[in-house]
């Protein structure tokens, strides 16, 4: 499936990239999305990104909710006029028949409070299940996107469930030879859910958050937007872990998200400056 | 006459925006026509997820030719003035006419505007409509979005059909050129769909699997969902909002029935219904007995070639995952007691100036206890003795058991009730930190109620946790169980007192903390449960604890410091009194608004409230009802007329410092604010004084009538029989009319004059026993 998507999007002019090697909540955090969404230069890329969402952990008990899963991400800048059709063609390419399955574009305005970003678009439904997030970025890191990029984020496991006709992600056939997704990941889900929700040392997490913030500021002072942005990614992930541990109150939550947003915005600003782009 | 078709094709428009978009399109189009002096015989609008369309029938081919005349300066005016006029008229000097205006040669410009082709008007109107379209949210896209000035639309705009009488209206916006073709269904049709005009628009699209009329799609969904449920032996839970939403998500709707594992029914039905409706936009169904059944109806957008089997299977899978999540939350939340959950409220901010939710809970718990201990909220309501207008006459002093809706409440003594109310109040916000309410905030209260019941807490406590947010709006059920009433009342009074203490009052259309709604909820709770208490004391009890909040204490110090500096002497009013007075006034104001809707005259509320002593809302409203019934009768109207005549004479002859605005301030203060006391500064005349001269018959009759009526009115009021009090006063009508007819007040004899003015004053104060009639309008 990934190979089919790679070849499809490669044919349509995308660079095929590799995952970013840091824990992050979504493919949108990849520098190939966030930073490249800024500025006037065209940019077309596709890549797989593993995502970690500690609060979505269900100890392996939910058929389609996981704390670690894979997204397939396509970014097309500027957004092509036929982007919806391209997307639908890519679904057909991986074996989703739109006259057998009910494909729908349902309003979903995307906003990332931690990235200072928002866009309009849809969640794409396949028989009532969200399989893709489709967004026209309007702002990133607080800056207007000029031009607007179209972002497609496929939920790989969910799509595979449709194609293979499986009711649970853990039953997915991994290799066509008896190995399932559950064989590979079920134990991870159980252990990681336990760690995320119950075990993770909150003191060291708070400490890690403070250190990431300090390091980001350090990088910004040195005018190094990419390492600064990496620290913002790190802070965001640590914040998600703290959320899962339930140690951040509603009031503090806003303050923490604001802190991460400042880091992301600062990195984007430094990136704009470095490239000589004006807001 | 001709017809016009406009279709604006775009990427999927959010379902919730389509209704308003149709109305906006019609409005903008009509405005554009009107600006050109055109009017269509009819306008119709349609929407699907991908298009917004308008059909105008009976349009003139051209606009009317108009001739406009402008009057200019006199012919001999200086050149500069003439030139200015020429610029304004857009003409040259030789095109002007000279006419005689009152003997003066004056320049006139006649501007002839020929009729304009409607096609030209539309060619300008279409881009203007698109640019001005008021989408709630709009976006930029594509290569044009290099600048932030590019065209904005709700989602990328893909095409325009503009056909006037079958011909394309040539127009263009941001590179998009109007034409005569559109697209059909995304999956059922490929290639362009060419439209020849208004007549074949809907049929050509129908052939391409698009039902362009939203109402038709809605009825397909409504009927189809009902049939799908019925065919499977269920009853559809109708939901018009879902019908409209699904019509906005489909161009070719196909309702399909799916099922889920009955084991999920252990999760509360409200949770299942909510996740099904909100997350999946499915209808739920009930079995013959009315219980939620393990099936649903979804609406697909295609006629699948397997008859929908794969779609149903897919949707079943999604719902199973959603319900599995709901069950996960349901079980996880129950691993802790509500008391343990409530611990977390200490870290949740209620309002930045007002501390945490735990602080609020503490105040609410104490106030709920107080309401019970004071006997304001009782296990059995105190029967209202007078019972006018509230429909409770059957309750009057009856020894039979009151038809109180909560039999469990009976027999509770005050202390027990207070304990339960305090316990319920302490737990009532605990569900805010549960997973389920985190996922579905709409379930606040309800989940707490379920968890309390699961824990085996007293059913009244569970019910109070569940219902303490009620009544939420007009028409919502008003709680009647005493424990719920106490918690609900305490919660709302506390919010009102706290926000008023930090000066967060509603202004205009802004009421971010829903304080108006809270005030109305408080009065509904009071009326529905016939709670007998003084509003002032209830509000004072809510305000006192708010004063201990640090931010409020700071404000109080500032207020008192500022006020004493200004006045230079000890304060007339402390901060808490000030807050309470403002809050009572707000409360009465909301009461008037609310009662106006129930047909109660606000001037009558003022008339009773102006008596000052009346702040028991139940009694106040009963008085107002009796008063309204009375003043609307002939007797009441005439008595009011007599009262006004008497009051006018008194005002003229003996201006009272209370009534005369010009009266000195000191006098007004000295007089005090109790209007039940004698209004008039007249020399008080003893009955002997009244009889010191020979009374005229009408005068004597009035005195006799007053002697008779006054004690009866007083007795009736004490018995809370306000109709009786009105009836007692009604007998004064004939004597006062006769008095005005036969007796001269302004008698030459100062003793007679004084006595007669005194008599009028006595009449006025007798009337004031039921209400301050001077506040009554008309």
Q: Return the closest-CA partner of residue B732 out of B762, B689, B690, B688.
A: B762
Q: How confident is the model at residue B380 (pLDDT cuts 50, 70, 90)?
A: low
Q: Quick one: closest CA in A to B434, which residue?
A: A246
**Which chain A residue has the Cα nearest residue B279?**
A128
Q: Does B714 touch chain A (CB under 8 A)?
A: no
**Closest by Cβ to B321, choosing from A65, A80, A121:** A65
CA distance B225 to B243: 9
User: Mind telling me how many Å the CA of B54 is from chain A's nearest CA?
Assistant: 23
Kindly report the average pLDDT of chain B as a whole number.
Answer: 86
Per DSSP, A44 falls in state: E
* Distance, CA of B561 to CA of B553 (rounded, Å): 12
> Which CA distances in Å does B273 have to A248, B250, B270, B333, B455?
30, 22, 5, 19, 23
Chain B contact present for A118, CB below 8 A:
no
Percentage of residues in chain B having pLDDT higher than 70: 90
Size (chain A), residues:
279
Cβ(B53)–Cβ(B45) below 8 Å: yes
Over residues B768-778, the mean pLDDT reads 84
Chain B partners within 8 Å of A242 (Cβ): none
Q: Which residue has the tokens 């105008």?
A: B56
Predicted local confidence at residue B481, as pLDDT: 92
- Using a CB-CB cut-off of 8 Å, the residues of chain A touching B140 are 136, 138, 147-148
Facing residue for A78 by CB, picked from B143, B187, B301 = B143
Please answer yes or no on whether A122 and B12 come within 8 Å at the CB atom: yes
**Which residue has 């250190």 as its token pair?**
A211
Q: Domain ranges in chain B?
A: 2-62+117-207, 67-113, 226-333, 340-599, 618-775
Q: What's the distance, CA B363 to chain centroid?
A: 28
Which parts of chain A register pLDDT below 50?
none
Q: Which of the four pLDDT bands, split at 50, 70 and 90, describes residue B395?
A: very low
Instruction: Give the best-scoring range by mean pLDDT among A180-184, B580-584, B615-619, B764-768.
Output: A180-184
The domain B2-62+117-207: what is its CATH number?
Answer: 3.30.70
Select the residue from A111, A127, A162, A171 to test the B interface by mutation, using most B Cβ atoms within 10 A: A127
Residue with tokens 């309800």: B446
E strand or H helix at B173: strand B172-173
Q: Between chains, do B142 and A101 touch, taking CB under 8 Å as contact? A: no
User: Could you tell me the pLDDT band of residue B751, with boundaries at 50, 70 and 90?
Assistant: confident
Q: pLDDT tens across B143-192, in order?
A: 999 988 899 999 999 999 999 998 999 999 988 999 999 999 999 999 99
Tell me whether B190 touches chain A (CB under 8 Å): no
Residue A133: the pLDDT is: 96
Does residue B737 sit in helix, strand or coil? helix
Kindly state the helix (H) or strand (E) to which residue A215 belongs, with its residue range. helix A202-221
B123 touches chain A (CB under 8 A): no
Yes or no, beta carbons of A79 and B142 under 8 Å apart? yes
Tell me: ipTM over 0.85: yes
pLDDT digits (tens, 9 = 90+) for B9-44: 999 999 999 999 999 999 999 999 998 889 999 999
Residue B692: what pLDDT? Answer: 61
DSSP character for B336?
S
Considering only the beta carbons, identify the residue of B250, B328, B347 that sits closest to A249.
Answer: B347
CB-based contact A78 B319, cutoff 8 Å: no
Q: Residue B348: list chain A partners with CB under 8 A.
A: 249-251
* CATH among 1.20.58.180, 3.30.530.50, 3.40.50.1240, 1.10.3720.10 for A201-275: 1.20.58.180
Alpha-carbon span B671 to B612, nearest angstrom: 14
Is the minimum CB–CB distance between A278 and chain B shorter than 8 Å? no
CB-based contact B366:B354 (threshold 8 Å)? no
- The whole-angstrom separation of Cα B773 and Cα B604 is 8
CA distance B209 to chain A (A): 13
User: What average pLDDT does the segment B482-496 reach?
Assistant: 95
CA distance A57 to chain B (A): 11
pLDDT confidence of residue B568: 60
Determine whether the interchain pair B310/A127 forms a contact, defined as Cβ–Cβ distance below 8 Å: yes
pLDDT bracket for residue B665 (50, 70, 90): very low
Instruction: Considering the domain delimited by A2-196, tell me its CATH architecture.
Output: 2-Layer Sandwich (3.30)
Is the pLDDT at B644 greater than 70, yes or no?
Answer: yes
* Residue among B776, B731, B739 nearest B759 (CA): B739
- Binning chain A into helix, strand and coil, the percentages to the nearest 5 are 45, 20, 30
Contact A249 B12 (CB under 8 A): no
Looking at residue B673, its pLDDT comes to 39
Q: Which residues of A touch B175 (CB under 8 A)?
A: none
Residue A163 burial by Cβ neighbours in a 10 Å radius (0-12, 13-18, 19+): middle
| Cβ contact, residue pair B314, A101, below 8 Å | yes
Of B11, B145, B349, the CB nearest to A146: B145
Q: Which residues pair with B297 in a beta bridge?
A: B257, B283
CA distance B140 to chain A (A): 7
Flag whether residue A158 sits within 8 Å of chain B, measured between CB atoms.
no
Model confidence at B300: pLDDT above 90: yes
Q: Report how far residue B727's alpha carbon sits from residue B623's, in angstroms, rounded to the nearest whole number.
A: 13
pLDDT confidence band for B571 (50 / 70 / 90): low
- State the burial class of residue A2 (Cβ atoms within 10 Å of its Cβ: 0-12, 13-18, 19+): middle
From the CA of A124, how many Å to the nearest CA of chain B?
Answer: 11
Asked if B475 and B356 count as a contact pair (C-beta separation under 8 A), the reply is: no
Measured over the CA atoms of residue B658, residue B662, residue B667 and residue B673, the dihedral's sign is positive
- Cβ distance of B148 and A99 shorter than 8 Å: no
The residue behind tokens 């207070």 is B418
The whole-angstrom distance between residue B515's C-alpha and the CA centroid of its chain comes to: 12
User: Does residue B670 carry a pLDDT above 80?
Assistant: no
Rounded-to-integer distance, Cα B409 and Cα B480, Å: 10
Terminal Cα-to-Cα distance of chain A (whole angstroms)? 39
Where in the sequence of chain A do the CATH 3.30.930.10 domains occur?
2-196
Whether B298 contacts chain A with CB within 8 A? yes
- Structure token digits, residue B496: 């009102």
Contact B475, B520 (CB under 8 A): no
Q: Is B152:B145 a contact under the CB 8 Å cutoff? A: no
Residue of B nearest to A64 (CA): B321
Average pLDDT in the B358-387 region? 80
Tokens of B177: 């050129």
Assigned token pair, B7: 């279709």
Measured distance CA(A128)–CA(B314) in Å, rounded: 7
CATH of domain B618-775: 1.10.730.10
CATH 1.20.58.180, chain A: domain bounds: 201-275
DSSP B68-121: EEEEEEETTS-HHHHHHHHHHHT--GGG-EEEEETTEEEEEEEEEE---BHHHH
Confidence of residue B664 (pLDDT cuts 50, 70, 90): very low
Q: Do B324 and A119 touch (CB under 8 A)?
A: no
Measured between CB atoms, does A251 come within 8 Å of chain B? yes
Cβ neighbours of residue B677 closer than 8 Å, sequence gap 6 or more: none
Cβ of residue B177 closer than 8 Å to a chain A Cβ: no
Sign of CA dihedral B557, B560, B561, B563: positive
CB B545 within 8 A of CB B496: no
List of chain B residues whose C-beta atoms are within 8 Å of the C-beta of residue A57: none
Q: Which of A81, A101, A107 sits opposite B15 (nearest CB)?
A: A107
Nearest to A127 among B318, B324, B348 (CB): B318
Distance between CA atoms of A212 and B81, rounded to whole angstroms? 73
Cβ within 8 Å of B, A 20-49: 40
A55–chain B Cβ distance below 8 A for any pair: no
Q: Give me the residues paired with residue B662 across strands.
A: none
Cα dihedral value B232, B235, B237, B242, nearest 10: 40
B10, B12, B251: best to mutate for the A interface, most A CBs within 10 A: B12
Cis amide leading into A147 (omega within 30): yes
User: Six-digit token pair at B282?
Assistant: 């499915």
Do B578 and B559 meet the contact criterion of CB atoms below 8 Å apart? yes
Is the per-residue pLDDT at B75 higher than 90? no
Q: Considering just the CA atoms, what is the radius of gyration of chain B in Å?
A: 37
Residue B606, pLDDT above cutoff 60: yes
| Chains A–B, number of C-beta pairs less than 8 Å apart | 139
Question: Distance (Å) from the C-alpha of residue A90 to the closest C-alpha of chain B?
Answer: 14
Mind listing the pLDDT tens digit for each residue in B419-448? 999 999 999 999 999 999 988 888 999 999
Residue B318 near chain A (CB below 8 Å):
yes
The answer to whether the CB of A119 falls within 8 A of the CB of A94 is no
Q: Do B315 and A103 touch (CB under 8 A)?
A: no
How far apart, in whole angstroms, are the C-alpha atoms of residue B427 and residue B55? 58
What's the pLDDT at B309?
94
What pLDDT shows up at residue B405? 41
What is the pLDDT, as a whole number, of residue B342?
93
Among B14, B141, B249, select the one facing A104 at the smallest CB separation: B249
Question: DSSP string covering B7-18, please?
Answer: EEEESPPPHHHH
- The string of pLDDT tens digits covering residues B79-114 is 888 888 888 888 888 888 888 888 888 888 888 878
CA distance A20 to A5: 18
- Looking at residue B240, its pLDDT comes to 95
Using a CB-CB cut-off of 8 Å, the residues of chain A touching B154 are 120
Q: Is B714 helix (H, G, I), strand (E, B) or coil?
A: helix
Q: Does the pLDDT at position B655 exceed 80?
A: no
| Partner-chain contact A148 B142, CB within 8 Å | yes
Give the model's pLDDT for residue B681: 44
pTM for the model stands at 0.75
Residue B317 is nearest to which of A40, A103, A167, comparing CB atoms?
Answer: A167
DSSP 8-state secondary structure symbol assigned to residue A131: E
DSSP β-bridge partners for residue B139: B153
Put simply, whether B661 touches A (Cβ < 8 Å) is no
| pLDDT mean over B256-267 | 95
The pLDDT assigned to A184 comes to 96
- Asked if B129 and B25 count as a contact pair (C-beta separation under 8 A), the reply is yes
CB contact under 8 A, B349 and A144: no
- Cα–Cα distance for residue pair B376/B175, rounded to 1 Å: 72
Identify the pLDDT of residue B398: 36
CA of A91, closest CA in chain B: separation in Å? 13
Q: Across the interface, do B142 and A109 touch by the CB < 8 Å criterion?
A: no
* Cβ–Cβ contact B482 with A under 8 A: no
Residue of B9, B10, B11 to mutate when probing chain A, most A C-beta within 10 A: B11
For residue B248, which of A122, A248, A276, A142 has the smallest C-alpha distance?
A122
Listed in sequence order, the residues at least 6 apart from B365 whose beta carbon sits closer than 8 Å to its beta carbon are B422, B425, B426, B490
Confidence of residue B121 (pLDDT cuts 50, 70, 90): very high
């Amino acid at each position: 499936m990934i190979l089919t998507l790679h070849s499809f999007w490669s044919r349509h002019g995308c660079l095929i990239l590799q995952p970013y090697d840091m824990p992050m909540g979504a493919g949108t955090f990849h520098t190939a999305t966030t930073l490249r969404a800024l500025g006037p230069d065209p940019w077309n890329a596709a890549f797989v990104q593993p995502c970690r969402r500690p609060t979505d952990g269900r100890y392996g008990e939910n058929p389609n909710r996981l704390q670690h899963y894979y997204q397939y991400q396509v970014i097309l800048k500027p957004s092509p006029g036929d982007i919806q059709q391209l997307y639908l063609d890519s679904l057909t390419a991986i074996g989703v028949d739109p006259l057998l399955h009910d494909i729908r574009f349902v309003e979903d305005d995307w906003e990332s409070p931690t990235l200072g970003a928002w866009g309009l678009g849809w969640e794409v439904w396949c028989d009532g299940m969200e399989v893709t997030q489709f967004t026209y970025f309007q702002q990133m890191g607080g800056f207007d996107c000029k031009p607007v990029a179209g972002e497609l984020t496929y939920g790989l496991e969910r799509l595979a469930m449709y194609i293979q006709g499986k009711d649970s992600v853990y039953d997915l056939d991994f290799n066509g030879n008896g190995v399932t997704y559950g064989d590979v990941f079920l134990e991870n889900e159980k252990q990681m859910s336990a760690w995320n929700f119950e075990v993770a040392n909150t003191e060291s997490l708070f400490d890690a958050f403070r250190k990431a913030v300090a390091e980001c500021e350090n990088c910004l002072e040195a005018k190094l937007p990419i390492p600064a942005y990496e620290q913002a990614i790190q802070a965001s992930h640590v914040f998600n872990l703290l959320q899962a541990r339930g140690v951040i109150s509603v009031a503090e939550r806003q303050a923490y998200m604001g802190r991460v947003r400042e880091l992301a915005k600062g990195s984007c600003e430094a990136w704009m400056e470095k490239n000589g782009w004006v807001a | 006459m001709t017809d016009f078709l406009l279709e604006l094709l775009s990427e999927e428009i959010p379902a919730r925006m389509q209704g308003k978009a149709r109305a906006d399109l019609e409005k903008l189009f009509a405005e554009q026509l009107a600006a050109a002096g055109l009017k269509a015989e009819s306008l119709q609008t349609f929407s699907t997820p991908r298009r917004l369309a308008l059909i105008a029938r009976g349009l003139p081919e051209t606009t009317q030719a108009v001739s406009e005349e402008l009057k200019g300066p006199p012919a001999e005016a200086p050149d500069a003035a003439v030139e200015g006029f020429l610029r304004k008229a857009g003409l040259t000097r030789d095109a002007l006419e000279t006419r005689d205006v009152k003997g003066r040669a004056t320049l006139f410009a006649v501007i002839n505007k020929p009729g304009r082709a409607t096609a030209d008007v539309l060619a300008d109107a279409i881009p203007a409509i698109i640019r001005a379209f008021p989408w709630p949210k709009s976006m930029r896209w594509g290569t044009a979005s290099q600048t932030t000035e590019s065209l904005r639309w709700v989602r990328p705009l893909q095409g325009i059909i503009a056909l006037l009488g079958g011909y394309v209206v040539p127009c263009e916006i941001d590179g998009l050129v109007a034409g005569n073709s559109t697209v059909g269904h995304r999956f059922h049709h490929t290639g362009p769909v060419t439209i020849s005009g208004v007549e074949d628009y809907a049929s050509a699209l129908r052939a391409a699997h698009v039902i362009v009329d939203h109402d038709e799609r809605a009825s397909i969904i409504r009927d189809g969902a009902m049939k799908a449920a019925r065919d499977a032996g269920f009853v559809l839970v109708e939901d018009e909002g879902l019908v409209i939403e699904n019509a906005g998500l489909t161009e070719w709707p196909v309702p399909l029935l799916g099922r889920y594992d009955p084991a999920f029914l252990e999760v509360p039905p409200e949770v299942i219904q909510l996740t099904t409706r909100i997350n999946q936009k499915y209808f739920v169904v009930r079995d013959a007995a009315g219980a939620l059944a393990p099936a649903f109806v979804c609406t697909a957008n295609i006629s699948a070639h397997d008859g929908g089997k794969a779609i149903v299977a897919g949707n079943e899978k999604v719902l199973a995952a959603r319900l599995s999540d709901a069950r996960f939350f349901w079980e996880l939340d129950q691993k802790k007691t509500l008391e343990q959950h409530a611990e977390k409220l200490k870290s949740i901010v209620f309002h930045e100036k007002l501390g945490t939710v735990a602080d609020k809970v503490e105040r609410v718990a104490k106030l709920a206890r107080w309401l019970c201990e004071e006997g304001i909220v009782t296990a059995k309501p105190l029967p209202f003795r007078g019972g006018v207008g509230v429909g409770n006459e059957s309750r009057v002093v009856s020894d039979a058991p009151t038809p109180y809706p909560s039999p469990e409440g009976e027999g509770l003594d005050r202390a027990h009730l207070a304990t339960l109310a305090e316990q319920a109040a302490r737990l009532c916000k605990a569900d805010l930190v549960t997973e389920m309410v985190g996922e579905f905030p709409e379930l606040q209260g309800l989940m707490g109620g379920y968890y309390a019941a699961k824990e085996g807490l007293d059913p009244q406590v569970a019910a109070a946790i569940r219902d303490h947010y009620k009544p939420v709006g007009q028409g919502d059920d008003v709680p009647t169980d005493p424990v719920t009433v106490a918690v609900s009342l305490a919660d709302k009074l506390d919010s009102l007192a706290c926000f008023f203490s930090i000066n967060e009052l509603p202004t205009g259309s802004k009421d971010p903390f829903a304080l108006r709604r809270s005030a109305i909820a408080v009065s509904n709770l009071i009326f529905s449960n016939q709670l007998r208490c003084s509003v002032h004391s209830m509000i004072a009890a809510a305000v006192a604890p708010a004063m201990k909040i640090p931010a409020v204490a700071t404000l109080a110090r500032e207020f008192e410091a500022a006020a004493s500096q200004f006045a230079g002497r000890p304060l007339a009013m402390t901060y808490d009194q000030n807050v309470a007075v403002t809050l009572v006034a707000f409360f009465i104001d909301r009461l008037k608004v609310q009662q106006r809707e129930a047909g109660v005259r606000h001037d009558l509320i003022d008339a009773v409230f102006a008596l000052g002593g009346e702040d028991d809302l139940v009694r106040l409203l009963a008085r107002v009802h009796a008063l309204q019934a009375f003043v609307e009768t002939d007797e009441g109207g005439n008595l009011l007329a007599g009262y006004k005549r008497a009051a006018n004479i008194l005002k003229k002859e003996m201006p009272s410092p209370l009534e005369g605005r010009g009266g000195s301030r000191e006098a007004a203060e000295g007089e005090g604010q109790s209007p039940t006391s004698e209004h008039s500064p007249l020399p008080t005349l003893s009955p002997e004084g009244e009889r010191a001269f020979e009374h005229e018959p009408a005068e004597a009759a009035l005195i006799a009538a007053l002697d008779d009526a006054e004690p009866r009115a007083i007795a009736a009021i004490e018995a809370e029989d306000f109709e009786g009090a009105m009836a007692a006063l009604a007998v004064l009508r004939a004597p006062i009319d006769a008095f005005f007819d036969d007796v001269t007040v302004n008698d030459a004899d100062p003793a007679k004059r004084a006595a007669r003015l005194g008599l009028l004053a006595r009449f006025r104060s007798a009337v004031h026993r039921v209400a301050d009639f001077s506040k009554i309008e008309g």
